[in-house]
Amino acid sequence: MDVPVDAGGRLGVSSHGVTGLEVSPLPERAGVCAAGEVNAATRSVWSEVLGQLARQGEDVVHVDMSEVIFIDVAGVTDLAMAAQSLRGERRVVVHDPPPQVPRILELFWPGLGGIEVAE
């Protein structure tokens, strides 16, 4: 799948008048910063980015969600699946997610290893 990347290294999609999703690499550590909404219109980009992060060799990858205004259950599922795909002591650290993220993770994946929510 081709993920649109602009000259600044940002990935993103948007629809006419609809909030999109912008994903940028974190400058100081392995991971990404997401802004906007994770929903049916933006999920392909979200899923692709998380898959790329999971394939990296880093022990810890970070997902800054401080600028995400909405994420649906499918988007949280993608986070959980990325964490489940990690081997050994590797993990995904999710920073400042919308409030539904930890609730959904606890409801559907209680005790899931490989993911840490840092609020």
pLDDT, block means (10 residues), the chain with 119 residues = 40 51 93 95 94 90 96 97 91 96 95 90
- Of 55, 44, 40, give the one whose Cα is nearest residue 23: 44
pLDDT at res. 47: 95
Q: How far is CA 65 from CA 17, 70, 79, 93, 109, in A?
A: 22, 10, 12, 10, 19
Q: Pairing relation of β-strands 115-118 and 91-95?
A: parallel
Please count the other Cβ atoms lying within 10 Å of the Cβ belonging to residue 38: 26
71 contacts 37 by C-beta, under 8 angstroms: yes
Query: What domains are there in the chain, each with its CATH number?
Result: 11-118 (3.30.750.24)
pTM of the complete model: 0.83
- Of 75, 61, 73, 81, give the one whose Cα is nearest residue 21: 75
pLDDT at res. 19: 66
Could you give the CA distance from residue 111 to residue 38 in angstroms, rounded to a whole number? 24
